[in-house]
Amino acid sequence: MNNRQRYWGVIPASGVGKRMGSELPKQYLTLDGKTLLQHSIERMVAHPRIAGVVVAVAEHDKRWQAFEDHFGDAVTWVTGGAERYHSVLNALQVLNDIAAEDDWALVHDAARPCLRADDIDRLIDEANTGIGGILAAPVSDTMKRANADGSITETVNRAGLWRALTPQMFRIGLLIEAIEHAMTKGLPITDEASAIESLGHRPKIVAGHPDNIKITIPQDLELAQLYLQQQRTVVKNSENNR
């Protein structure tokens, strides 16, 4: 194994977030005085094990330029694509020019502003051998499958079920190969792990904190605000106890 392997953040941020019902793409909604995108980038940039971050934005998006100088050389901005996986692939291809193909890419959602540093550490420590892995949280609720009319068809056994979170960490070269393979075969790419799985690999599940939520509907902003406050309280108490 290459002992000099590095870890890079990749953030696809070219979506429109229709379910939020907002005129702004959801990554530019404000939470605690910053956009969701800023929060997500900062969580990556601030981590000492992340060498740099590549962010993919929509072709005609100019909003990100307002905080380009704030991040400086730590962030590379690229043009995204029509679907999330297009944006990830574009970012990976740019990253491949400045990194080694066996370096690791940690792909993180732009609308997950509460990512914890210790979750990044856990993912790196537990998934940096073999294929790679993803942060995930075990399903605790009773799961139902329903028809389009809302009628329940079955209760799904939740044993062994996990909610996929991000970041999802894979080697740059392998992830490029996996996404291109799935695209060629017309396979659904719901996340990076699904692309890797299409090659027959089995990524590792790494348990992450459940407060690493994805902002999807307006109520999620209120919950994220609460989580950020709780995280700050934990940090403050830790510093006071030193």
pLDDT digits (tens, 9 = 90+) for 137-178: 999 889 999 999 999 999 998 889 999 999 999 999 999 999
Q: CA-to-CA distance for 75 and 68, rounded, in angstroms?
A: 8
Q: Contact at 8 Å (CB) between 74 and 52?
A: yes
- The reported pLDDT for the residue numbered 17 is 59
Entry pTM: 0.93
**Looking at residues 127-135, what average pLDDT do you find?**
94
- The reported pLDDT for the residue numbered 241 is 76
Q: Contact at 8 Å (CB) between 198 and 225?
A: no
β-partners of residue 30 are 35
- The reported pLDDT for the residue numbered 234 is 82
Q: Which of 59, 67, 9 is nearest to 36 (CA)?
A: 67
- The reported pLDDT for the residue numbered 2 is 45
Tell me which architecture the domain covering 7-140+159-240 has in CATH.
Answer: Alpha-Beta Complex (3.90)
**Could you tell me what percent of the chain has a pLDDT over 90?**
83
The tokens 């730590």 sit on which residue?
Answer: 74
**Looking at residues 74-92, what average pLDDT do you find?**
96
- The reported pLDDT for the residue numbered 20 is 63
Q: Which of 63, 60, 72, 95 is nearest to 179 (CA)?
A: 95
The answer to which of 43-57, 171-185, 221-235 has the lowest mean pLDDT is 221-235
**For residue 18, is pLDDT > 70?**
no
Q: Which of 77, 42, 35, 44 is nearest to 58 (CA)?
A: 77
Question: Read out DSSP for 128-182?
Answer: SSTTEEEEEEE--SPEEEE-TTS-EEEEEP-TT-EEEEEEEEEEHHHHHHHHHHH
Distance from the first to the final alpha carbon of the chain: 37
- The reported pLDDT for the residue numbered 107 is 98
Q: What φ, ψ does residue 9 adopt, rounded to 5°?
A: -90, 140
**Could you tell me what percent of the chain has a pLDDT over 70?**
96
Cis peptide before 188 (omega within 30 of 0): no
pLDDT band (50, 70, 90) for residue 239: confident
**For residue 21, is pLDDT > 70?**
no
Q: What are the helix (H) ranges across the chain?
A: 36-45, 68-71, 84-95, 117-127, 172-185, 192-197, 218-240
**Looking at residues 27-34, what average pLDDT do you find?**
95
- The reported pLDDT for the residue numbered 23 is 76
Question: Which tens digits make up the pLDDT trace of 93-128?
Answer: 999 999 999 999 999 999 999 999 999 999 999 999
DSSP 56: E
pLDDT band (50, 70, 90) for residue 72: very high
Q: Which of 10, 99, 120, 94 is nearest to 55 (CA)?
A: 10
- The reported pLDDT for the residue numbered 1 is 37
